[in-house]
């Protein structure tokens, strides 16, 4: 068997993606998940059209049964997608064939009035929604662990570092509260954008004309379609109005950066010569068995560096021509999915990292004592007492 044959049989196993390999986000964004989302969109469209008189109830039931038949192969669809430029075209052909077997004649009600972009955009919003739900839960868990650290170490004195050098004293509790603030900001943005993700439905040129030609009222159909999938109903078809993707891109970039900040600090504080924190389950080395590498932080840092580059493609794709874009739309698919996957893997890693983080107050105090320029431990304690008196560390309870 050649390496190409092996890839075709096994798919992407995540060998070079340790940030997300094995995470719930990996499964939620894989080819199987995208295929399920496209099928969900097709079934939801048929059911929504029943309510506006475009499809008989019997036919919608058959379409729904067909999408659950398990007779659709993602790899086969991928290989056939090149002929039309997207995987929806071969999927619709296969879905019609299955419906025809189950109920001859009802295949005409599959994909009625829709265009490929309607289904794929909607499917990717479904994938995003399902992945953001996972990310939100992990961010909430991370914030809870950081609140515990902030409360526990409100008076744990350490050196603040600016431009890599000792500055004035601070506390680890304040640092953890700062991390928590960023994570909560990311969580708020994830929840907010999740609540706005829309379906896509406009037909060939965004006019809803094909649906109306079948006697369906367009606005009512869009609302029913959105209700079926528990997504939002957009004011207009957004084939070339890519606000939903741009908003999602911004949230993913912020999320990756927020978790990357936590990782960056842990990487510095866990250096051998600093030794102020350590990951609860440090990683191993292939050549130096004595090492305890901060691998979760390493992987979070890698995600923080990758996501902005992916997001730049999503922003660039906003400059889309005409009523259906040649290339800009197609360029979004892979970076959007990878950004979701990286953020999902990073959020899961951060939840574990912050839940297991070991803190060494004695080492923090010893390192602080090395910096004569900051006034010594006594001055540090007086500054911390004043800070506590002003409630600076109350952020953990807000």
With residue 167 as reference, give the H or E element that holds it. Answer: strand 165-171
* Nearest-angstrom CA–CA distance, 134 and 341: 11
Where do runs of H (alpha helix) occur along 30-168?
31-51, 57-67, 74-81, 88-102, 116-152
Catalytic residues: 285, 324
Which tokens hold the place of 269? 């504080």
The distance of Cα 398 from the centroid of its chain, to the nearest Å, equals 26
Identify the three-state secondary structure at position 272. coil
Q: How many CA atoms lie within 13 A of 44 on its CB side?
A: 25
CA 345, distance to chain mean position in Å, is 8
Structure tokens at 329: 């739309």
Ramachandran area for residue 376 (φ above 0: left; ψ -120 to 50: alpha; else beta): left
How far apart, in Å, are the Cα atoms of 98 and each of 88, 104, 300?
15, 9, 44
User: How far is it, in rounded angstroms, from Cα 289 to Cα 344?
Assistant: 30
CA distance 175 to 178: 5
Say if residues 248 and 313 touch (Cβ distance below 8 Å).
Answer: no
Contact of 357 with 149, CB cutoff 8 Å: yes
Backbone angles phi, psi at 166, to 5 degrees: -55, 135
4 token code pair:
């190409």
């Amino acid at each position: 068997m050649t390496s190409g044959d092996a890839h075709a049989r096994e798919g992407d196993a995540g060998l070079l993606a340790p940030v997300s390999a094995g995470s719930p986000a990996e499964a939620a964004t894989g080819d199987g998940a995208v295929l399920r989302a496209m099928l969900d969109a097709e079934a939801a469209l048929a059911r929504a059209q029943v309510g506006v008189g475009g499809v008989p109830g019997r036919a919608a039931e058959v379409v729904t049964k067909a999408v659950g038949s398990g007779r659709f192969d993602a790899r086969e669809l991928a290989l056939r997608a090149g002929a039309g430029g997207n995987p929806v075209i071969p999927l619709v052909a296969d879905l019609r064939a299955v419906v025809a077997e189950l109920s001859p004649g009802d295949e005409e009600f599959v994909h009625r009035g829709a265009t490929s972009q309607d289904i794929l955009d909607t499917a990717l919003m479904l994938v995003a929604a399902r992945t953001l739900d996972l990310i939100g839960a992990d961010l909430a868990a991370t914030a809870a662990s950081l609140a515990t650290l902030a409360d526990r170490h409100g008076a744990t004195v350490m050196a603040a570092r600016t431009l890599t050098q000792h500055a004035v004293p601070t506390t680890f509790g304040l640092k953890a509260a700062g991390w928590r603030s960023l994570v909560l900001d990311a969580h708020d943005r994830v929840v907010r954008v999740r609540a706005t993700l829309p379906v896509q439905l406009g037909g060939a040129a965004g006019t809803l004309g094909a649906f109306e030609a079948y006697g369906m009222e367009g606005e009512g159909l869009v609302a029913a379609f959105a209700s079926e999938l528990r997504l939002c109903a957009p004011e207009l078809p957004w084939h070339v109005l890519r606000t939903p993707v741009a908003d999602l891109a911004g949230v993913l970039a912020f999320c990756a950066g927020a978790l990357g900040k936590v990782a960056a600090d842990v990487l510095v504080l866990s250096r051998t010569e600093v030794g102020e924190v350590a990951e609860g389950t440090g990683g191993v080395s292939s050549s130096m068995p004595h090492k305890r590498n901060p691998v979760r932080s390493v992987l979070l840092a890698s995600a923080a560096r990758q996501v902005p580059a992916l997001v730049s493609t999503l922003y660039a794709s906003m400059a889309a021509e005409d009523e259906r874009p040649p290339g800009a739309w197609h360029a979004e698919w892979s970076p959007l999915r990878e950004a979701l996957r990286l953020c999902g893997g990073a959020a899961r890693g951060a939840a574990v990292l912050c839940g297991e983080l070991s803190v060494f107050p004695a080492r923090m105090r010893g390192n602080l004592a090395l910096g004569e320029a900051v006034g010594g431990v006594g001055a540090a304690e007086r500054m911390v007492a004043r800070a506590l008196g002003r409630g600076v560390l109350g952020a953990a309870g807000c």
